[in-house]
Structure 1
């Protein structure tokens, strides 16, 4: 029987070793993450932008998209970014039983690993909707569950200037994991302004770390 996702309040109580939401502020770094790709039009432009600023990031890929665009999966990895798992079909995990949840995770993991011939160790639940049972299963499987500490809300298809304003009016802090999506150009236009601003403030843009 499907179970409810973990509430935002309870999510904050889960140890970072089980559900990573941010990193230590000791190192002045930000961790850009992109969900829902790879996208044949958006992802290449995003990779070019990241290259321009020598910024690294992490891409949480949907399995069906990775299977359709394996050359983009390889391109992401070859440019020094982390390739991560965002489930096979982007179904909401709490609506599935545990075995169905694990099937969604494992099928996408297998596709990514087959393309890259290397382990895929990070996973993010679609829409950040987690269940306790899947978190415990991921821990046993040696897969790192990753959430975020700042949301760009670019999935709302906001104008880039709104995304920029939201993230500058409430400034990011060292260790933040920032959520974006590489399925629309608004993330590119916003990051073209945000990345150099953050770098001038002294932040490094890094991929996810163990």
Structure 2
């Protein structure tokens, strides 16, 4: 089976599940995650390259492994198939706290009185306790854990997984009532799931991955990444249009964004305006209506 046919088959399946675009909208093959020249994991690899590699590897694994095996191995619990409460949106931001950037996000959220959940990396929390405090001071926002140092849980052993989880949870601020954990890259494991649940935390994935990392500084995404992210051709130069169209397909849900990618910041206010114009309302991750989407 050709690479393009296999990816078309995957996207057709996702479309039927309400999780992706129709393959007929795209016209180019997606490179394999193992092709020469593709970025690989490494200590000094740029975060964009790591995200891209993890994204491609995820797609390739979902193509080459039957769904029952993936379910039994707990590989991708972050991909939420449960339908969200209709037209309700939860904004979530990963990979902070980032100086300057988080202040801007908070300013925009304040302007529209919108709650959000920030999945912080423990190491960054230790470096920037003042930024953690700023989020807490707003009262309306939640703080979840994004592990200690953002490893790929598919690449590390159980001892390293436990350390990444526990050290991250140790950084949760005193009095924090939110008990949500999000896997780096969305890559989960059965051992990790058990460890997280033993600490009383819920695993939080997403209904809509904005793929904000794939859009360049000019607001465009190249053809390969458009296919891997499910960006329809008419939205290759329209990040906001892509996200709103994805929300329409899912009829709301938990939205994944990142503090560290400029398009999240540059487009955030317009994105909120377009969501509101489309009839979506914003709620918090601890909304009882959202609990069916927790794992």
TM-score (norm 2): 0.61
Task: Mark the runs of 5 or more structure 1 residues left unpaired by the alignment.
Answer: none
Aligned mate of 2:273, from 196, 206, 209: 196
Which residue of structure 1 aligns with residue 9 of structure 2?
A: none
Check whether the contact 1:88–1:108 (CA below 8 A) recurs between aligned residues: yes
Check whether the contact 1:20–1:145 (CA below 8 A) recurs between aligned residues: no
Task: Mark the runs of 5 or more structure 2 residues left unpaired by the alignment.
Answer: 1-56, 220-236
Superposed CA deviations along residues 107-126 of structure 1, whole A, max 9, x for unmatched, are: 1111123xx43345111111
Report the aligned-residue RMSD: 2.8
In structure 1, how many angstroms separate the alpha carbons of the residues matched to 2:266 and 2:79?
28
Check whether the contact 2:105–2:265 (CA below 8 A) recurs between aligned residues: yes
Structure having the higher Rg:
2
Shift of 1:11: 9.9
In structure 1, how many angstroms separate the alpha carbons of the residues matched to 2:82 and 2:103?
28
Map 1:1-210 → 2, pairs under 5 A: 8=62, 9=67, 21=80, 25-79=84-138, 80-113=140-173, 116-158=174-216, 159-160=218-219, 162-172=238-248, 173-209=250-286, 210=291
1 or 2 for the larger relative contact order (CA 8 Å, sep ≥6)?
Answer: 1
Shift of 1:137: 2.5
How many aligned positions are there?
Answer: 203
More strand by share: 1
Change in Cα spacing, 1:100 to 1:41, as seen in structure 2 (3 Å) is same
Change in Cα spacing, 1:13 to 1:73, as seen in structure 2 (3 Å) is same
In structure 2, how many angstroms separate the alpha carbons of the residues matched to 1:5 and 1:69?
31
